[in-house]
Structure 1
């Protein structure tokens, strides 16, 4: 039954098609206003206090509620194979840097040992040191410091190019390729005929400089790329085999991956022990 307000609205309008549409729209607003059971503020409050979890795309698990975030233990998710491969690249990069740094001084400073195998190794059973170029202590220190300077400063250039021009993936590959050819040059510099004829210094310096730039492309790209390989993009609730409910947290996952990164980095540092024995027993081509 129409109310007095409805009668007043109808009385003030002409009976055209447009007026009828206006009447119907006004009537709908009145009906919605009078018969609405839940106020808007109440609906917002219900949504705010809702504890229903939304579905997660990961293994049909559920996203955690606010109460679960406060009470459940946070664990790391699985590490992808690409993350392990990047850790291996970092280990190889550090093995390359510390491996050659440990043998550069003797290679530059000391001459070829008499009675050795010609590759820089001293005679077996002696306490002599390995050597090759015989350029003295000052030259050895200058070139070693130059290599260290390049390895620590070129990441500024490599990081800039990775972020603005090449991208991290291409920059990392550039570093790997440059590093490969750098070691080829260093092996050429350790060939006995090249050393005895006095031509070893040129490929050695080229290899030293290019290896410093290779480290500059690899160092600033590996850690961000490892963090990008995280398999957990949003926290979700998971039930372990023990029955415990835990939250698989993206931050904990990235933390685990970076711990693996630093573990691999430190593992590569120990490679200098192997190269020190290699120069003394076999020669510089292996070291």
Structure 2
């Protein structure tokens, strides 16, 4: 037990007593000669008792004992089914989009809207852009009005409506080209809004099902003493979350086959039916989910703190109640530190648009490239499934073998992983550029695939489709290092009451990447594809190197930033209140 007592005197006696015991209980009293004012008294129920088995690790144990993840409860898996269903629908729908938009009913492969390759690529990027701008709206509504669960439920209803419109307007027997175009635009707008409402909240809701704990020593059932590391728990949550995304994205196998053999209506009907699983899971599990309360104008407070810091040469201490008790700021010192940390994280996201522009090639230009190769009976958009399969295979390998092996020699921290994500993205574009040059060197149409003569309109250049597989695998590795780690970083560095909004800012970088893709879409025509892929490879490599130069120092402060989560907000709030009582008295005495 420790006891701290501070006394000051003016015309009336004033004393402040602050007492902390081993259960972090605090009492603050202000006493005068006329009366006694009880500022705050915290009872036992105000605190969650620390685990009786909690053992803090020593420096030596941190270096020598094996680090493991904490327990992930069943309700996380239940929420993950919602994400699986949403991604099943999103990727199942978007895989046929390039053919649906670019080609006509008599082309090979078949389509409907006849917008040509360049137009289809631009709209494809617009769809990605829209889907990742709307999370700002979803994050704002969740953190200030509806809460995460209600926002996800609202997005689910909008999603179902959008898929239904797309399905109905793609039935060739009852639609026209103009009706199909109108239905397509309406559908992607609705689906984009719904995606934003779900994406900004679903990963955060999953992570919030696991209680926060400090790093500690535990003993396994086999008698081994290990370090239970909350950072590894968050890492595994987001790897498992990303695993669900990619299991869902295997829907491209089914929808591309349905597109090729039954029609686009069948390809869109399957995601519509599957999405109802998300509706059922949300309703059935409603009472099991941990749902944290909505913050009180928390986003407004965040911007106010940032503005105060900006006016004071980026000094966030100037926004702390403890530094300026006379200002009566309606937030705590801890919240200011959380905002400072979140701003730092947002700077890390600045390079991501270039990465997402590279990633977007998989959804459009890789599909177009495949259409000029020998498919051997496969749909040209089928190989998108290779990316998902690679992620499903390599995520467990990274978790069980690669990451523990690297940690034996050096901490494999977030900034390092993101850097390697950029490098793998660059490697994927190098492979695509080299492959494209071989396609242009192959007959019968060389650098004018399918367009050199009428008799070759349905004859691709003589390059096997399997040569695209390494590009998809390299993209998969880049996602494991850059995309998953970005999700972790956004969640871990966000204030407790602003996690959806900060997550939406990270997702917004995808929208900017799509905007870059729209800008370079005029290069998505033959014979310019080689230079398009080469330019993206160089850009991603340079962006990765600049990212490392700018942010590698953040690896050294990662642990200290994580400690902010365990600052006792109640204690600091009491200190701020006490300071506001004492300051006037001290000022009077000094005069």
Deviation at 1:217, TM superposition (A): 1.0
Paired residue total: 218
Alpha-carbon shift at residue 200 of structure 1 (Å):
2.6
Higher CA-based Rg: 1
Higher RCO, Cα 8 Å, sep 6+: 1
2:239 paired residue number: 259
Query: What residue number does 2:53 align with?
Result: 62
Unpaired segments of 5 or more residues in structure 2? Answer: 1-20, 22-48, 268-591
Which residue, 206, 210, 214 being the options, matches 2:190? 210
* In structure 2, C-alpha distance between the alignment counterparts of 1:232 and 1:156, rounded to whole Å: 26
Contact 2:139–2:200 under 8 Å retained in 1: yes
* TM-score in terms of structure 1 length: 0.65
Distance of 2:163 and 2:215 partners within structure 1: 44
**2:152 — aligned with what?**
172
> Following superposition of structure 1 onto structure 2, how do residues 43-58 of structure 1 map, counting pairs within 5 Å?
57=51
How far apart, CA to CA, are the structure 1 residues paired with 2:79 and 2:199?
Answer: 11
Q: Distance in 1 between matches of 2:117 and 2:238?
A: 39
Contact 1:132 1:195 in 2 (8 A): no
Could you tell me which residue of structure 2 aligns to residue 111 of structure 1? Answer: 104
SS of 1:192's partner is coil
2:81 aligned with 1:81, yes or no?
no
Name stretches of at least 5 consecutive residues in structure 1 with no aligned partner.
Answer: 1-43, 45-54, 114-121, 123-127
Answer yes or no: is the 8 Å Cα contact 1:77–1:231 preserved in 2. no
Indicate yes or no: 2:100 matched with 1:140.
no
Residues 62 and 236, structure 1, Cα contact 8 Å, conserved in 2: no
Rounded to whole Å, the distance in 1 between the matches of 2:56 and 2:245 is 38
The one of 207, 210, 219 aligned to 1:227:
207
Q: How far apart are 1:154 and its partner, in Å?
A: 1.3
Confirm or deny that 1:279 pairs with 2:259.
Answer: yes
Cα distance in 2 for partners of 1:62, 1:139 equals 62
What is aligned with 1:39? none
Alignment counterpart, residue 149 of structure 1, candidates 129, 152, 169: 129
Map of 2:442 onto structure 1: none
Q: Could you tell me how far apart the structure 2 residues matched to 1:197 and 1:147 are?
A: 20
Cα distance change, pair 252–140 in 1 and its aligned pair in 2 (3 A):
closer
Residues 74/139 of structure 1: CA separation in 2 closer, same or farther (3 Å cut): closer
The Cα shift of 1:180 comes to: 1.5
Judge conservation of contact 2:55–2:218 (CA < 8 Å) in 1: no
Q: Which of 135-144 and 182-191 deviates more?
A: 135-144
Matched-pair contact (CA < 8 Å) for 2:112–2:177:
no
How far apart are the structure 1 equivalents of 2:97 and 2:217? Answer: 53
Residue aligned with 1:229, SS? coil
SS at match of 1:246: strand
Distance 1:111 1:197, change over 3 A: closer
Structure 2-normalised TM-score? 0.34
Q: Does residue 91 of structure 1 match 2:84?
A: yes
CA distance in 2, matches of 1:137, 1:247: 53
Shift of 1:69: 5.4
1:25-75: CA deviation from partner (whole Å, max 9, x where unpaired)? xxxxxxxxxxxxxxxxxxx9xxxxxxxxxx965xxx611044385454332
